[in-house]
Structure 1
């Protein structure tokens, strides 16, 4: 095996391990989806809230 291909295989293995570690949901706080921290409103509630705000 050439040194360059060995180095490439090492990088690929390291990158794969990094993806595996960061994608695991074994820790608290990981594995949540997009928008879990957003206070969602309906369209009608948003319209009422926008109408109640002062316009400059």
Structure 2
């Protein structure tokens, strides 16, 4: 199907990337859920969650 998957290192890369993206997705869902639970408001404060998570930590 995909010739690139015949290369062992590429399969490792794809597998690790899949695990990493799944973890990132789970973290974002959990963070948004936590903000929603703590704030009690659906729209206004939940909009801050992605903005705060994407800023550099030194600012």
TM-score, length basis structure 1 = 0.46
Q: Could you say which structure has the larger radius of gyration?
A: 1
Structure having the higher helix fraction is: 2
